[in-house]
Amino acid sequence: MTQEIEDKKKYLLHWMYDFIEDDDEPAYLKSDVEEFDQIISSFIKMVGESDDRADFCWISATVEALVKNLNQLNLKHEQQLIETDQCEDICQLIRLVIEKAGHECATDITAEWREW
C-alpha cells in the first residue's frame, strides 16, 4: 500500500470516528467503522497482492464486490454510514488503488453499483 492510499484511508476513518464522538446518538458505532475499515483494507490488500491485478475485468469485478459490500453495510445504517463527502473520498481511494495496480481510471468505476 502506498503512502497516498494509506493517508486517504486514514482520512476517511478519522472523519467517521469523529462523527461518532460529536453526536450524542450516532447512527453507527465504532464497530461499524471497524467493519468498514476491514472491507476497505481487504480490497486494498487483495488488489495489491493479486497476480490478477493486471486484468481489468478482474479489477472491475473486485470493485463491484467491494461496492456491493459497502452498499449492504450502509443500508444497515439507513444510508448514514457513508455521507456525501465520504462517498467522494471512497471513490478517490478506489481510483488510487486501481491506478497503483496499473490501470487508468478516467471515470467513476463505482457508479454502476453504488447506492451511497
Where do the domains of the chain lie? Answer: 3-100
pLDDT digits (tens, 9 = 90+) for 61-100: 999 999 999 999 999 999 999 988 899 999 999 999 999 9
User: How large a percentage of the chain has pLDDT more than 90?
Assistant: 85
First to last CA, the chain: 25
2: left (phi over 0), alpha (psi -120 to 50) or beta: beta
7-11, 13-17, 18-22, 36-40: the lowest-pLDDT one: 18-22
What ranges in 1-115 are assigned the alpha helix state H? 3-21, 30-49, 56-76, 84-100
User: 97 is written with which cell numbers?
Assistant: 488503488
State the chain's maximal CA–CA distance in angstroms. 46
Nearest to 105 by CA among 93, 95, 92, 116: 95
